[in-house]
Structure 1
Amino acid sequence: MEDEFRTFIKVWFSAIISISYCYYISTRIKAGVFRLLTVLPVCVLFLVLPLFFSSVHFSELTAFFLSWLANFKLILFCFDQGPLVPLPSNLPRFVCFTCFPIKPQQNPNPQNQIPKWFFAIKVAIFGALLHMYEYKQYMSPSVLLVLYSLHIYLELEFALMLVKVLVFITLGCDLEPQSNEPYLATSLQDFWGHRWNLMVPAILRPAVYTPVRRLAKRIMNSDQALFLGVLATFLVSGAVHELIFFYMTREMPTGEVTWFFVLHGVCTATEVAVKRTSLVQRWWRVSPIVSRLLTVGFVVVTSGWLFFPPLIRSCMIERLANEAFLFIDFVKHKLFTLR
């Protein structure tokens, strides 16, 4: 564990140096292809850095934060688009807003804030969930599927919350929430666009959806262009998830994860098109409880069909749980030593 932490420090120190270079050099070059050329070596480095880890958590989070989000942010920045525009006021802000899935909060709304005790409940659920793996052999496939879904959701929630707290301490500014209780989603559009991992759609919209839809509108009607834009966005998301799964498992992609996102892209685009018809808007009203059950149920079932199998075959879910226990024991040992 200590060797892995040393690697973690070296990798992220390299990332901070690289982003500092972008701040001091690339920002002084006019937006366009020449700025992109100065940023490309950093993007290549960020694709390599997750390979230095043997820990699933460190390789997964580094791939998510740097290989995916930071690279997309920097490429968008080269053309004066994305979350890094306007340019953050100082280097620490530029580093944080590049490295992490965060952005400053523009119009805070206290009514939308989740009570702090609710987060404590999630921690308790996660602790119980980890211990449930000891009885995995007695569980049905349906129960295991729910267990895996909760595990992925809670781990991502805790990682993003930890980042948010650390950045808040460092920068002292309010940050937008990174997710919005995705289990309350009433549609696929609501789930992917407004509740789950909000930095991802904030980047994919200007990077993929908007340019694809704009180009498609030149040769097809608006509805067809919208469908193509949504499908292209999910296709890119699937390809990047395949890359992240490769960093985690070190096995060649099977395409299942890409098909998961293609399926959701088709369903989401179809859902959006259906909602836009006047007949549906006038007559079709579904209870929020029913729509939430259908939406979350569809996500969980299709995840069990296409998303989780590569992780299950490579025992990644169990490794995530084991690493969580190792981290807890490591922290306990350090705290005992300090006493």
Structure 2
Amino acid sequence: MLVVQGIALSFLIEVITSLYVLYCMKKWKTTKYKSFALLCWIPCFILFLIVPDLCFNKEDQIVAYIFCYAVVSWWSSFKALAVLLGQQPLQNASTLSLLLWIWFPLTMNDRSDQEKVSETSPQLLLRFVLKLVLVWGLVNFLVFIPSAFVCHVIYAFLLYLFCSLLLDLCAAICKPWFPLDIHFDKPFLSNSLSDFWSKRWNVQAAKTLYYTVYLSICPNTQRYYPQWRKLAAVICTFVVSGIMHELLLFRINGKVTGHWFIFFTLHGVLLVIEKMGSKRFHYSGTLSFVLGRIWCLCLLIITSEYFFWRPILDSGLVAKAVSLFSIDENYLERYVK
């Protein structure tokens, strides 16, 4: 099946399933019965899980397969759960806005005091093209880098560019329909893990997990919760993220390595430690900014080196991805192993 045909089929399945979700929410009042909402969601989740295999060949269309898993199997299915639970942003949003939010990897601006995406659709398309050119340039620059560690740092920047350019394209399509939040906000300038994961890195994924996992443990209906419950909700959010990431690796490699599950669960624990430490030790001004940035970057680099990059380097996934943009495919396939 061609990539275009796969995209069309996956989108058709999304449309039909999301209409089923809205029907369940409005007809059967799933927002009032959480257990029933979960039962309505299970068939939707199972269907979304098999969409990548129905629409794409993971051997020849690996990037499309991964993107379909992320958008449909994970984000769209979890957004569908948020709608069924009544925990989505913009409670009074139109039906079209809700459908677009489910279909596309975007973040609704659910607070009037937050900055909205100011770019127009043509500007977002231009940014998409510029990032695509930059990805191509960096991939072909890798052949001149002798250090594996430096390559891994460049891989991280490439991951950011590739994800953000795809989200730019989706934002250009949906910009006229509802207010958007920034999906990546200079993530490498984060001064804490909390800042990185909740405000800067893939904000739409973070908010999707917040609406479905965090709010299920600490609903907005109650104003105050014990500190332990909030911290447990944070760890559970990262555990679910780790499971969904690990499931992607299993779908690609056919085996469970545990690396990505450990990576995200560990970051949940570290974020809790960070929150507890920030209450005990109070820093302010330049010292706080410098120490926070060093702490965040060091943790990201060290944990990524041991747990994030290893399984995808060993599986050759990086080689397959970068070869799409490389003018020296054979060299890169040898180099990244």
Q: TM-score range by the shorter chain?
A: 0.7 to 0.9
More displaced 10-residue stretch of structure 1: 11-20 or 143-152:
11-20
Q: Report the Cα distance in structure 1 between the residues aligned to 2:119 and 2:174, rounded to whole angstroms.
A: 19
More displaced 10-residue stretch of structure 1: 195-204 or 152-161:
195-204
Task: Tell whether the 8 Å contact from 1:26 to 1:38 is kept in structure 2 after alignment.
Answer: no
| Equivalences for residues 282-297 of structure 1 within 5 A | 286-297=287-298
Equivalent residue in structure 2 for 1:273, among 264, 271, 276:
276
Residue aligning to 2:253: 250
Q: Report the Cα distance in structure 2 between the residues aligned to 1:229 and 1:122, rounded to whole angstroms.
A: 35
Q: For 1:146-191, what per-residue CA distance to the aligned partner results, in whole angstroms no more than 9, with x for missing partners?
A: 12111111111111111111122xx443311112111110001110
Q: For 1:90-110, what per-residue CA distance to the aligned partner results, in whole angstroms no more than 9, with x for missing partners?
A: 3x4232111223233353767
Residue aligning to 2:305: 304
Equivalent residue in structure 2 for 1:51, among 50, 53, 68:
53
Q: Would the alpha carbon gap of residues 89 and 126 (structure 1) be closer, same or farther in structure 2, given more than 3 Å must change?
A: same
Task: Tell whether the 8 Å contact from 2:127 to 2:168 is kept in structure 1 after alignment.
Answer: no
Q: Does 1:40 align with 2:42?
A: yes
More displaced 10-residue stretch of structure 1: 18-27 or 176-185:
18-27
Q: Report the Cα distance in structure 2 between the residues aligned to 1:258 and 1:35, rounded to whole angstroms.
A: 27
Under a length normalisation based on structure 2, what TM-score does the superposition of the two structures give? 0.81
Q: Would the alpha carbon gap of residues 322 and 27 (structure 1) be closer, same or farther in structure 2, given more than 3 Å must change?
A: farther
Q: Report the Cα distance in structure 1 between the residues aligned to 2:173 and 2:17, rounded to whole angstroms.
A: 21
Q: Report the Cα distance in structure 2 between the residues aligned to 1:284 and 1:222, rounded to whole angstroms.
A: 29
Residue aligning to 1:164: 171
Q: Which amino acid aligns with 1:235?
A: V
Q: Report the Cα distance in structure 1 between the residues aligned to 2:3 and 2:119, rounded to whole angstroms.
A: 34
Q: Would the alpha carbon gap of residues 284 and 224 (structure 1) be closer, same or farther in structure 2, given more than 3 Å must change?
A: farther
Residue aligning to 1:62: 68
Q: For 1:255-310, what per-residue CA distance to the aligned partner results, in whole angstroms no more than 9, with x for missing partners?
A: 01111112211111011011112xx2267962534532431232122111101111
Q: Which amino acid aligns with 1:130?
A: V
More displaced 10-residue stretch of structure 1: 184-193 or 11-20:
11-20
Q: Would the alpha carbon gap of residues 39 and 225 (structure 1) be closer, same or farther in structure 2, given more than 3 Å must change?
A: closer
More displaced 10-residue stretch of structure 1: 186-195 or 63-72:
63-72
Q: Report the Cα distance in structure 1 between the residues aligned to 2:231 and 2:107, rounded to whole angstroms.
A: 28
Equivalent residue in structure 2 for 1:102, among 88, 95, 106:
106
Which ranges of structure 2 fall in alignment gaps of 5 or more residues? 220-224, 328-337
Q: For 1:129-153, what per-residue CA distance to the aligned partner results, in whole angstroms no more than 9, with x for missing partners?
A: 1112444xx5212111112111111
Q: Does 1:263 align with 2:266?
A: yes
More displaced 10-residue stretch of structure 1: 46-55 or 202-211:
202-211
Residue aligning to 1:176: 181
Task: Tell whether the 8 Å contact from 2:214 to 2:234 is kept in structure 1 after alignment.
Answer: yes
Residue aligning to 1:336: none
Q: Report the Cα distance in structure 1 between the residues aligned to 2:238 and 2:39, rounded to whole angstroms.
A: 27
Q: Does 1:127 align with 2:136?
A: yes
Q: Percent identity?
A: 24
The CA RMSD over aligned residues, in Å, is 3.0
Q: Which amino acid aligns with 1:266?
A: V
Q: Report the Cα distance in structure 1 between the residues aligned to 2:287 and 2:100, rounded to whole angstroms.
A: 41
Q: Report the Cα distance in structure 2 between the residues aligned to 1:44 and 1:110, rounded to whole angstroms.
A: 36
Which ranges of structure 1 fall in alignment gaps of 5 or more residues? 215-220, 327-339
Q: SS in structure 2 opposite 1:107?
A: coil
Task: Tell whether the 8 Å contact from 2:107 to 2:207 is kept in structure 1 after alignment.
Answer: no
Q: CA deviation at 1:38?
A: 3.6
Task: Tell whether the 8 Å contact from 1:100 to 1:163 is kept in structure 2 after alignment.
Answer: yes
Q: Report the Cα distance in structure 1 between the residues aligned to 2:288 and 2:128, rounded to whole angstroms.
A: 27
Q: Report the Cα distance in structure 1 between the residues aligned to 2:117 and 2:9, rounded to whole angstroms.
A: 38
